[in-house]
Structure 1
Amino acid sequence: MRRAIIIFTRVPIPGITKTRMMPQLSPQQCANLHICFLKDMNKECEKCRANFFVCYTAEEDKQKRYLKEIMGKQKGYFPQQGEHLGERMYRAFKEVFAMGYEECILIGTDVPELRSGDLMRAFEVLKTKDVVFGKTHDGGYYLVGMKKARREAFGLDQYGHGAVLEETIKALSQSGITVGYTKKLWDLDTPSDLKEYRKRMRVRKELKQSETGRYAAGITPISIIIPIYNEEKRIVMFQEQLKELQGKCEILFVDGGSTDRTLELIDPGYTVLHSEKGRGRQMNAGAKASCGDILFFLHCDSELPPKPLAEIRRVMRDHRAGCFGIAFHSHNFFMFTCRVISNHRVKDRKVMFGDQGIFVDRELFFEVGMFPEIPIMEDYQFSLTLKEKRVKLGMAGRRIYTSDRRFPKGTVPKLKLMWKMNRLRKMYRDGASIERISDMYRDIR
């Protein structure tokens, strides 16, 4: 039996395709995402025992050549014809059936989770039904198949609304045409759709390995949130390492009421917010004002590794929260010990501290109630909350170098401080007054 598959698509041109993803994605990113959809669908269609056609929106030869570069030359290409979507789909079927095919399915390009098994299931349904649909979760459909061109399937005045499939099925039933279904899938039309897709990626290996999965992970929006207070000695040098990140992510400084020259030393190109003093309060204020799907909380005395955004996105493909490893420039044995213990603590005890550069899924951050607005231990309590909710932590392969300014000079004083910090955390877990712990912390700084 001669079978055909039609991919019904726009040409992926910036500013023309996937425009509902803007402005969160740039026009070029929208086009790149569409190209990934096409490549993934191409792979799945080529696994099916059917001939393959691409029905596209433009007639210019250069655009057709562009599609051939993406999809391959060994396929049939023809332009869409008709004034509205239903008419264009109907004519696509007419053209393919005129070539002598006995069964044909047409698919859109907004469902990158489509697999060859879904397509073959659609052909199986056509053995007993006149028409087959693949439903989307928003009430539309991504696939329609039939054994002859049926105008009744394309008679709606408008498409793109939530009742498209329901109204189409009603029209077919009134004409005595039988209908069956293949697998229901998600389409990706909006930034929220893309966010949900990334969630599914964390539990589905095949999505991570797809063209769409790799690209979607690589463009996840990140907001860097930096709490500051009287940082004039470090703020200029700190900004130097942020220069290469400008334009690639959102960067927010949150000042807690600095009384030195910190604010006047911040480049006007950065966004500066203001809040009450306290890292918890400052970081929460930054998170509320941010736009990123990943929130990265960074201390002003930290030194970032190369390509930190790529490292964060790599970890967040599999996790909802994580951090970098920590290191110190000091060669002191006990600073090396502190590094080893801190990095091991993340893996063994599932606890990360703020100087390790905590990053977290935006929804998760607000879901767990943000950082507690307490004088100290806000990062420790945040980790304990994540641990209580069984959130698995990821860890970047590269390390953040952080200042050892809170450690005194000399080996024995360093050891005493490490012991006392451990004691303070134990006191916190045992329910000691946070004010008392805060006073003791100030005494040892």
Structure 2
Amino acid sequence: MKRKLIIFLKRPEKGRVKTRLAAALGEEEAVRVYKRLAEDTVNAVRPLAGKSADVVIAFDPPEREAEIKEWIRGPFRCVSQGEGDLGERLSRAACAAFAEGAEKAVLIGSDCPELDALTVNRAFRALSKKEVVIGPSKDGGYYLIGLTRARHAFLFDDIPWSTPEVLKTTLKKANDRGISCGLLPEKSDVDTLEDLESFERVSVIIPALDEEQSIGPALVDLAERHRPDEVIVVDGGSRDRTVEIASRYARVLNAEKGRAFQMNAGAAAASGDILLFLHADTRLPPAALLKIREALREGRKHSGRFRMSFGHPHPLLRFYAFQTRFHFFSYGDQGFFVRKVLFQKMGGFDEEAPLEDVDFYRRLLKIETPVIIRDPVITSPRRFLQNGVVKQKLINAALAAMVYAGFGKEALRGFQRAWYKDVRTPCGTA
């Protein structure tokens, strides 16, 4: 493949990773932070492997190859970084990529929680116009560098690594040789306690009721692909094995039946800065947590949601999914996220509202225009298929219109009782 993405990783070992963090947090916690950052980085770019690029894991130490492969599983080739300082290792990896026939080589580390597949693809595209592309980090270094020639490896020579002069020195070396250099958006990396504290924690809250078929796969997906800081399942009195299954993977709370009660209970117990409300039959897109943090920060917002897809060929379901790019069509199965400070200021979900999700979003719109992330969550169409797609779509639209038109709670409850087979599953649920 003409594109090479090289990820520099170390085996998570005390004394070898995040030494500046270890001084503040202790070695065990520093290793845990590094391990999570590395796994998040790999998962963020995993969709590129074999499709957009040949992904190579450049690992260290060389004698730990088997353990690295066991830790980082996937369609990746593992190669040792070899000996020498960071510059020598980067140079060796870049030259090897071009020797194997690559036309573009992008090298990344695992310190940047904001790095995602879109940024890497952007770097590859930029290399069609520039000889070198660099992603600057806020501490004066860089989180990504892309090259188009093996001779560009001199950019790794005589660099004052781990200082604020890394980017400045690299750009000067390129300029002195007349090499065209493009810059990507600046991002934050995590090297110090201050960096770590500025990176907001995400708590995932899942209200559940008799979800034994969905809850296990949902929690496994979260653990393997997203690794949020906290997962809380709030059960509303399940009569099946929901609690038993959820307890294997998440913190489980009990609350009064009703999504508003359950989600408010989860939010009250959550330790995260950002609350992400998910349904048990909803799956997040790749690198979702990075996208949430980035969307809130860059948009200077405090709330948002995803677009939605049902993963089903029915034309009306596809049309319904298309509508989720607009704010009027905002329901709880689209992965609402909100900073906890704003959630508390709003008083959480209205526990008396028949459509707590639509009501909550309507109130959000009075405060700000929430971010809508383009990458869709995938939601099960089971409720639509049970109730009839056309009928369910019309009911949902009518209920949403009633909420925005200001109909009272009793009128909404009456409409629900008249039309829903399962009254506990209101408007947004698919």
TM-score, normalised to structure 2, is: 0.54
Q: For 2:383, which of 399, 406, 421 is the aligned residue?
A: 406
SS of the aligned residue for 1:344 comes to: coil
Summarize the Cα distance change of 1:434–1:407 in structure 2 as closer, same or farther, 3 Å threshold. same
**Alpha-carbon separation, structure 1, partners of 2:165 and 2:344:** 49
Structure showing greater radius of gyration is 1
Q: Does 1:327 align with 2:419?
A: no
Offset of residue 438 of structure 1: 3.0
Kindly provide the CA deviation profile for residues 296-316 of structure 1, in whole angstroms up to 9, marking residues without a partner as x.
000011122222212222212
- Correspondence for 1:70: 162
Deviations 1:5-64 (A, max 9, x none): xxxxxxx834565569x989977699x79xxxxx75658xxxxxxxxxxxxxxxxxxxxx
Question: Which residue matches 1:387?
Answer: 365
SS in 1 for 2:248: coil
- In 2, the alpha carbon distance for the partners of 1:307 and 1:42 equals 25
Give the root-mean-square deviation of aligned CA atoms.
Answer: 4.0
Kindly state the Cα deviation for residue 444 of structure 1 after the two structures are TM-superposed.
2.7
Q: Which amino acid aligns with 1:365?
A: F
CA distance in 2, matches of 1:434, 1:72: 58
Tell me, in whole angstroms, the C-alpha distance in 2 between the residues paired with 1:329 and 1:406. 14
Counterpart CA distance in 2 for 1:24 and 1:297 is: 29
Contact 2:226 2:288 in 1 (8 A): no
Query: Cα–Cα, structure 1 residues 388 and 16, in superposed 2: closer, same or farther, change >3 Å?
Result: same
Query: What is the deviation of 1:219?
Result: 3.6
| Alignment deviations for residues 102-128 of structure 1 (CA, whole Å, 9 cap, x no partner) | xxxxxxxxxxxxxxxxxxxxxxxxxxx
Partner of 1:428: 403
User: Given the superposition, is the C-alpha separation of residues 245 and 429 from structure 1 closer, same or farther in structure 2, using an over 3 Å criterion?
Assistant: same
Query: How far apart are residue 422 of structure 1 and its match?
Result: 1.9
Shift of 1:364: 1.0
Q: How many residues align?
A: 270
Q: Which residue of 2 aligns with 1:360?
A: 338
Q: Residue type of the partner of 2:19? A: I
**1:280 is matched by which residue type in structure 2?**
A
Distance 1:25 1:382 in 2: 39
Residue 420 of structure 2 corresponds to which residue in structure 1?
Answer: 444
Q: Which residue of 2 aligns with 1:284?
A: 264
How far the C-alpha of 1:244 sits from its partner, in A, is 1.1
1:408 to 1:216, Cα distance in 2 relative to 1, 3 A: same
Matched, 1:229 2:209: yes
Is the CA contact 1:218–1:313 (under 8 Å) kept in the aligned structure 2?
no
SS at match of 1:244: helix
Tell me, what secondary structure is at the counterpart of 1:70? coil
Q: Which residue of 1 aligns with 2:85?
A: none
Provide the rounded CA distance (Å) in 1 between the counterparts of 2:255 and 2:372: 30
Residue 13 (structure 1) aligned to one of 19, 41, 46? 19
Native 8 Å contact 1:302 1:401 kept in 2: yes
Match of 2:222 in 1: 242
| Aligned residue in 2 for 1:310 | 290
Q: Does the aligned pair in 2 maintain the 1:278–1:375 contact within 8 Å?
A: no
8 A contact 2:22–2:30 mirrored in 1: no
**Structure 2 gaps, min length 5:** 1-17, 38-110, 113-136, 142-158, 167-184, 422-430
2:348 matched residue in structure 1 = 370
Summarize the alignment of residues 109-148 of structure 1 with structure 2, pairs less than 5 Å apart: none
Q: Which residue of 1 aligns with 2:105?
A: none
Distance 1:358 1:217, change over 3 A: farther
- How far apart are the structure 2 equivalents of 1:377 and 1:241? 28
Call closer, same or farther: CA 1:19–1:326 in 2, change over 3 Å.
same
Aligned to 2:276: 296
Secondary structure at the aligned position of 2:204 is classed as strand
In the alignment, residue 444 of structure 1 is paired with which amino acid? Y
Deviation at 1:339? Answer: 0.9
Q: Give per-residue Cα distances to partners, 1:45-101, cap 9 Å, x unaligned.
A: xxxxxxxxxxxxxxxxxxxxxx94222789xxxxxxxxxxxxxxxxxxxxxxxxxxx
Q: Residue 344 in 1 paired to residue 325 in 2?
A: yes
Instruction: Provide TM-score, normalisation by structure 1.
Output: 0.52
- Report how far residue 261 of structure 1 moved: 2.1
Structure 1 residues 23 and 236, CA gap change in structure 2 (3 angstroms) = closer
Change over 3 Å in CA distance of 1:40–1:416 after alignment to 2? closer
**Contact 2:200–2:274 at 8 Å: present in 1 too?**
yes
SS of equivalent residue, structure 2 residue 337: strand
**Secondary structure of 2:162's match?**
helix
